[in-house]
Amino acid sequence: MKVSGILRHVMAEEPTTSVLAELARRFCDCLERRDYDAALSFFDLNPVWDMSEMGMGIFEGRVPVRGLLEDWNGSYDEWEIELENLLDVGNGVVYAAVTERARPTGSTGRVQLRYAAVVLFAENLIAHAKTYPGIEEARAAAERLARERADG
């Protein structure tokens, strides 16, 4: 059964209905539809997506970020993203724990990846995102970034 195209939102902790959390949710909806133009509209003019913790480098600018998004799920016949936990931790910082499930092109096998992202918004647009393989590490980084932004 094909499961691509289904975005499930499971809130493991306190639910959030903030504008930024909703923007993050809508961004994921666009990714799951593979609508890269719409997904890119959630980013500011010079976004940065830091994948260095995942061994993939840093992508700076709209064109490289779009390339990352297309390459990331473009090699799968089926691809879905589940937001396990989505929290607006304050001061423009959103934390997301994510599980992706996919079937690589031409394969009957399936893959799964669990990770977390810290997303920094500026004027309701994604300015910076950093992806972490460690869920707790990302949560701590998000809380630290929110405190730093509050302090000044």
pLDDT tens per residue, range 88-135: 999 999 999 999 999 999 999 999 999 999 999 999 999 999 999 999
What is the domain partition of the chain in residue ranges? 8-151
**Mean pLDDT, the chain, integer:** 89
Q: How many other CB atoms sit within 10 Å of the CB of residue 56?
A: 14
Compare 3 and 74 and report the one with higher pLDDT. Answer: 74
- The whole-model pTM stands at 0.85
With H, G, I as helix, E, B as strand and everything else as coil, classify residue 126. strand
Is residue 68 helix, strand or coil? helix
Residue type at position 101: R
What is the C-alpha separation between 96 and 142, in angstroms, rounded?
Answer: 9
| 5-14, 32-41, 57-66, 129-138, range with the lowest pLDDT | 5-14
pLDDT value at position 3? 35
Q: What angle do CA 66, 72, 76 make, to 5 degrees?
A: 125
Q: Which CATH architecture fits 8-151?
A: Roll (3.10)
Q: What is the C-alpha end-to-end distance of the chain, expressed in Å?
A: 50
Query: From its phi and psi, is residue 90 left (phi > 0), alpha (psi between -120 and 50) or beta?
Result: left
Closest CA to 48 of 134, 147, 130: 130
CB-CB contact of 132 with 142 (8 Å): no
Residue 152, pLDDT score: 74
Going by C-alpha positions, the residue among 86, 66, 72, 91 that lies closest to residue 138 is: 86
- SS3 (DSSP) at 82: strand
